């Protein structure tokens, strides 16, 4: 972490060791105790005489890491025995084509609910995959919130499914626009499994895995660092997956071989393991969900208390707990000024995506509650001083 330029501190830096409050959307903040563990393990992993980065992915230390991460994630997410937890590479973006490559039958239709930037990418890649490799298949956009700049989650009435979708694809939290499916899910036609890009909110609160056929995402937001893509998938979907595609693109390859058919991103998977143990230590998802609701709550309250000054992008009922998007009503110059002052107060990574402008505060699992309090104070103070 580079040292902060704190020439004009508005508040004493409350972070430890020169570290900023990292509101970045991903890669994102890790818990301090996880980082300290990694520091040790990079030098000498559990007395192995070599560091985690250097350990064989076939040795007994890595065997234990694989067993633990599976067991701990199952426990945290109450993941039933008929689901596998796979680790792949290529990120959530790679799943854009791996999902149809595995799960879209010849001549079948995949339905997509488009709620933001990443969902648009999922449609594009699925279409492109079909054109090249499964030309009788089709991609159907069942709903699209682009008409209002993806500021809301479509209702059941606004969603028109195809006659017989092979699956329904959704994005649980829209990292760039700051909306999230809260307390409801798409009412997919019977027999169509829900496939969810859960990159931005996996294991941020209790979840009923049985409502989904597949949940996937990059680990670098809520579950660790870059390099590992988690895929939580029901056994029957692994089974029905196409067999005519290369081995490294088939889910069954990873299911059969503990996600190590070749050299896996073992450092990233090890980090997921540390995050899983950390989540357990926090008291599991019920407790973590409460903490995450509180963190988002203080910031939304600061914005709502100053509605004359700040504009929240997401419709209130669909606000994400993970990514808060907002901007000053007075224009871009105020946004810039706010971010400069926030940075001086150790709040970094607030710049919004170029699709939305303004600010985005990402509050993933490891983001500390004090950081949310500091930002909420800044939001209030800034509105009072500049309003
Ligand atoms: C970050 C993100 C992605 C992209 O993930 P990669 O792992 O970088 O491919 C996709 N979808 C959502 C919802 C995201 O938040």
Is the C-beta atom of 92 inside 6 A of ligand 1? yes
Q: What are the sequence ranges of the domains in the chain? A: 38-281, 283-386
Q: How many other CB atoms sit within 10 Å of the CB of residue 31?
A: 18
Of the residues 41, 84, 97, 118, only one is catalytic, namely 118
Check pLDDT > 50 for residue 1.
no
- Decide yes or no: CATH 3.30.420.40 for domain 283-386: no
205 Cα: distance to centroid of ligand 1 (angstroms): 19
pLDDT of residue 10: 47
Q: What percent of the chain has pLDDT over 90?
A: 94
Determine the Cα–Cα distance for residues 1 and 42; give it in Å rounded to an integer: 18
Q: Yes or no: say if 165 and 188 are a contact pair by the CB < 8 Å rule.
A: yes
Q: How many other CB atoms sit within 10 Å of the CB of residue 229?
A: 25
Q: Yes or no: say if 173 and 197 are a contact pair by the CB < 8 Å rule.
A: no
Is the C-beta atom of 320 inside 6 A of ligand 1? no
Query: Which of 116, 176, 200 to mutate for ligand 1's pocket (most ligand atoms within 8 Å of CB)?
Result: 200
Q: Please name the CATH architecture into which domain 38-281 falls.
A: 3-Layer(aba) Sandwich (3.40)
Q: Compute the C-alpha angle 377/279/300, nearest 5°.
A: 25
Is the C-beta atom of 96 inside 6 A of ligand 1? no
What does the block give as tokens for 338? 């706010």
Mean pLDDT of 360-380: 98
DSSP state of 12: -
Determine the Cα–Cα distance for residues 73 and 292; give it in Å rounded to an integer: 19
DSSP state of 78: T
Check pLDDT > 80 for residue 16.
no
Q: Over the stretch 46-97, which tens digit does the pLDDT of each residue have?
A: 999 999 999 999 999 999 999 999 999 999 999 999 999 999 999 999 999 9
Is the C-beta atom of 22 inside 6 A of ligand 1? no
DSSP state of 28: -
What atom of ligand 1 comes closest to residue 226's alpha carbon? 7
The CA distances from residue 3 to 99, 174, 274, 373, 380, in Å, are 42, 31, 26, 22, 26
Among residues 366, 323, 85, the alpha carbon closest in space to that of 222 is found at: 366
Residue 216 burial by Cβ neighbours in a 10 Å radius (0-12, 13-18, 19+): buried
DSSP state of 86: E
pLDDT of residue 18: 87
């Amino acid at each position: 972490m580079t040292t902060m330029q704190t020439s004009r501190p508005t508040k004493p830096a409350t972070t430890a060791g020169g570290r900023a409050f990292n509101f970045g959307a991903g890669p994102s903040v890790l818990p301090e105790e996880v980082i300290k563990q990694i520091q040790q393990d990079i030098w000498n992993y559990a007395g192995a005489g070599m560091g985690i980065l250097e350990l064989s992915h076939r040795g007994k230390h890595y065997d234990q890491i694989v067993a633990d991460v599976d067991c701990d994630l199952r426990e945290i997410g109450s993941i039933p025995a008929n689901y596998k937890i796979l680790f792949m590479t290529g990120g959530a973006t790679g799943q854009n084509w791996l999902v149809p490559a595995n799960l879209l039958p010849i001549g079948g239709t995949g339905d997509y609910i488009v709620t933001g930037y990443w969902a648009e990418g999922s449609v594009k890649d699925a279409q492109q995959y079909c054109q090249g490799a499964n030309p009788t298949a089709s991609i159907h956009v069942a709903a699209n919130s682009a008409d209002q700049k993806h500021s809301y989650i479509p209702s059941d009435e606004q969603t028109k499914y195809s006659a017989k979708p092979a699956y329904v694809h959704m994005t649980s939290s829209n990292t760039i626009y700051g909306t999230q499916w809260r307390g409801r899910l798409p009412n997919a036609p019977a027999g169509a499994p829900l496939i969810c890009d859960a990159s931005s909110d996996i294991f941020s609160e209790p979840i009923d895995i049985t409502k989904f056929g597949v949940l996937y995402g990059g680990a670098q937001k809520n579950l660790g660092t870059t390099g590992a893509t988690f895929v939580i998938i029901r056994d029957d979907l692994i089974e029905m997956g196409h067999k005519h595609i290369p081995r490294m693109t088939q889910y069954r390859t990873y299911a059969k071989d503990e996600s190590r058919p070749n050299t896996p991103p073992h450092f990233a998977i090890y980090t997921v393991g540390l995050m899983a143990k950390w989540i357990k230590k926090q008291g599991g998802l019920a407790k973590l969900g409460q903490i995450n609701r509180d963190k988002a709550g203080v910031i939304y309250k600061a914005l709502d208390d100053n509605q004359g000054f700040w504009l929240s992008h997401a419709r209130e009922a669909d606000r994400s707990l993970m990514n808060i998007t907002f901007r000053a009503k007075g224009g871009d110059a105020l946004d810039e000024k706010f971010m400069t002052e926030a940075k001086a107060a150790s709040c970094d990574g607030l710049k919004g995506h170029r699709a939305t402008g303004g600010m985005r505060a990402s509050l993933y699992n490891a983001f500390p509650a004090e950081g949310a309090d500091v930002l909420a104070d800044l939001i209030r103070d800034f509105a009072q001083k500049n309003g």
